[in-house]
Structure 1
Amino acid sequence: MNQKNLEFLVDQIKYTGFGETLTPALKEQMEKGEKEFTIAHEASFGSGTLSSELSFKKSDQSELYFFNSYKAALQKEGASHALEQIFYVSKDNTFTMKEAFNLLEGRAVNKDLRNKEGEMYNCWTKLNFTDSESNGNFKMNQYHQNYGYDLEAAVSKHSIKELETPKFKEDLLNSLKKGNLQSVTFVVSGVESKMYIEANPHFKTVNVYDANRQRINHRESKAEKQQQGEDKSVSREQKNNVEGVEGQEERKSNKQSHSI
């Protein structure tokens, strides 16, 4: 067994989000010297359990092993079957285990990826559960920079307390980019309430959930307040214009009556 190869794989597994608990199993499998092997991992989240199967393959030219991919299966509470997706491991285009969970949960993840030409690009990625690849994987919808989704602007439309502190704001945006359903504090008419938000690049907004994680349409966003104010201002102006015209017509009519 190649010790440096083991150390490299240990780090790779760790930074893909699976921690260091798989090291003994990895070492045992590598010492066997088999051509291919898999290692199982399980993580529990509030809404379900993510079971992963990490795949390793030995090089045809050397004794080195490579961590090529992992199959993630999310079993949600109350669901009849698990959602599965194979995530491939490479230098630049690897989704972490938590990002895989968030994608299978139906949320979008923001990543810097490399295309076939070797160029880096940034995009939001979301699984399309209604369309599959030939290998059974769900297709990935991508929303590139030119799509025009501004996460910070979308979040700023809501009265969120964390936005008032630069460090908390930065942490919030970074968490949303990883695809997390993030807890925040809404402040409406001076009253604080716990909410959850997630990025929604498709509609260029954020989804809002109540303390029980039930989707709501929050009507206290800054943009909505501003729009309501503008609408009222326009309505008052239109009313004044109409009243002014009617007054002129009435005075004109009275003048003509007196003339007759």
Structure 2
Amino acid sequence: MNQENVDYLKEQVMYAGYGDTFHQELEARIKEQPEEFNLQYETNFGNDKVVSQLNFSRSNKEDSDFYFFNSHKLELTKEGEPVMKQQFNIYNGSNITLKEAYNLMCGRAVNKTLRNKEGELYNTWIQLDFKHTDKYGNYLQQKYNEGYGYDLEEALKKYPISELENPMYEANLVESLKKGNPGRATLTGPDGKEQKVYLVANPKFKSVTLYDTNMERIGHRRRENQEKKEAKSQKQAQRPEGEESSPSAQKKPRKRRAKSL
């Protein structure tokens, strides 16, 4: 058994968001020298259940005892929704962690520094495209690189967020949003009235999306209310022909007889 390789795998698994959960089991499985194996992990994020399968394989080089941590495949179960599956490959120094994978599967965006085919690092925002899948059934990844022009800090400044007055809180908020987490904030209106909200990074539209404390999209709800008002006004305007005129208003004026001289 290659102990240096085992220690490296333990470190990879830990930084992928699984801590030291598999340290002993990982070492025991590698001692058996299988061609490939997987480890199972279960956790919950709120009411959502996540089951992970961590996949490992042995090097195809002859007489090699070197193993690779290839991927972790997640199954997300939300109440009242079909089970969702997505595999995230493991790359040296640019892995999608367990929590980041969960956030992506919830539709949120994650900011990562990745490596291209030439091994060069680049920064990008990642979001899953739930309309398209690859040949393995995984949702495609949409990427918004630095050249796309999304500036999260500038997007936040468009809202009256009181916490942005605290540089430390602002830094923590930005860091959390980059991991795909909803961030808590307080909006302060012109009259001083405060509203508690959740913020989510929205790189596609170079903005942030606001949710209320029940995680209902605020803008979406406003649009629904506006549409209802417009529909009501339109209905009132579309009255049957002649309805607006009263019977008395429809009376024809009397013709006066000319007086004889």
Corresponding residue for 2:181? 180
Question: d(CA) in 2 for partners of 1:8 and 1:122?
Answer: 25
Deviations, residues 154-181 of structure 1 (Å, cap 9, x unaligned) = 1111111221111110110111111111
> Any stretches of 5+ residues in structure 1 without a counterpart?
220-260
- Amino acid in structure 2 at the alignment position of 1:35: E
Corresponding residue for 1:31? 31
Change (3 A) 1:47 1:143: farther
Deviations, residues 236-258 of structure 1 (Å, cap 9, x unaligned) = xxxxxxxxxxxxxxxxxxxxxxx
Query: How far does residue 191 in structure 1 lie from its aligned partner after superposition?
Result: 2.9
- Amino acid in structure 1 at the alignment position of 2:68: F
Corresponding residue for 1:142? 143
Corresponding residue for 2:204? 202
Query: How far does residue 148 in structure 1 lie from its aligned partner after superposition?
Result: 1.6
Question: d(CA) in 2 for partners of 1:115 and 1:7?
Answer: 26
Query: How far does residue 101 in structure 1 lie from its aligned partner after superposition?
Result: 0.5
Change (3 A) 1:118 1:6: closer
Query: How far does residue 193 in structure 1 lie from its aligned partner after superposition?
Result: 3.1
Question: d(CA) in 2 for partners of 1:65 and 1:10?
Answer: 11
Question: d(CA) in 2 for partners of 1:130 and 1:110?
Answer: 21
SS class of match (2:21)? coil
1:70 corresponds, among 72, 81, 86, to: 72
Corresponding residue for 1:255? none
TM-score normalised to the size of structure 2?
Answer: 0.79
Question: d(CA) in 2 for partners of 1:165 and 1:184?
Answer: 12
SS class of match (2:60)? coil
TM-score normalised to the size of structure 1?
Answer: 0.80
* 2:56 matches 1:56: yes
Contact 1:208–1:218 (CA under 8 A) maintained in structure 2: no
Query: How far does residue 47 in structure 1 lie from its aligned partner after superposition?
Result: 4.4
Question: d(CA) in 1 for partners of 2:85 and 2:184?
Answer: 27
Contact 1:43–1:51 (CA under 8 A) maintained in structure 2: yes
Sequence identity percentage = 45
Question: d(CA) in 2 for partners of 1:180 and 1:47?
Answer: 16
Question: d(CA) in 2 for partners of 1:5 and 1:124?
Answer: 31
Query: How far does residue 183 in structure 1 lie from its aligned partner after superposition?
Result: 1.5
Corresponding residue for 1:131? 132
Question: d(CA) in 2 for partners of 1:36 and 1:69?
Answer: 12
- Amino acid in structure 2 at the alignment position of 1:130: K
Query: How far does residue 29 in structure 1 lie from its aligned partner after superposition?
Result: 1.1
Question: d(CA) in 1 for partners of 2:93 and 2:7?
Answer: 19
Equivalences for residues 95-106 of structure 1 within 5 A: 95-106=96-107
Query: How far does residue 137 in structure 1 lie from its aligned partner after superposition?
Result: 1.0
Deviations, residues 49-68 of structure 1 (Å, cap 9, x unaligned) = 11110001111331121111
Equivalences for residues 234-253 of structure 1 within 5 A: none
Corresponding residue for 2:109? 108
Query: How far does residue 118 in structure 1 lie from its aligned partner after superposition?
Result: 2.6
> Any stretches of 5+ residues in structure 2 without a counterpart?
222-261
Change (3 A) 1:118 1:64: closer
Aligned residue pair count = 218
Question: d(CA) in 1 for partners of 2:18 and 2:60?
Answer: 27
Query: How far does residue 4 in structure 1 lie from its aligned partner after superposition?
Result: 2.1
Computed over aligned residues only, the root mean square deviation of the Cα atoms, in angstroms, reads: 1.6
Which structure's residues are more often helix, by fraction?
1
SS class of match (1:202)? helix
2:194 corresponds, among 184, 192, 195, to: 192
Question: d(CA) in 2 for partners of 1:92 and 1:11?
Answer: 11
Corresponding residue for 2:255? none
Corresponding residue for 1:213? 215
Question: d(CA) in 1 for partners of 2:214 and 2:186?
Answer: 14
Structure 1 runs, 4 residues or longer, greater than 4 Å off: none
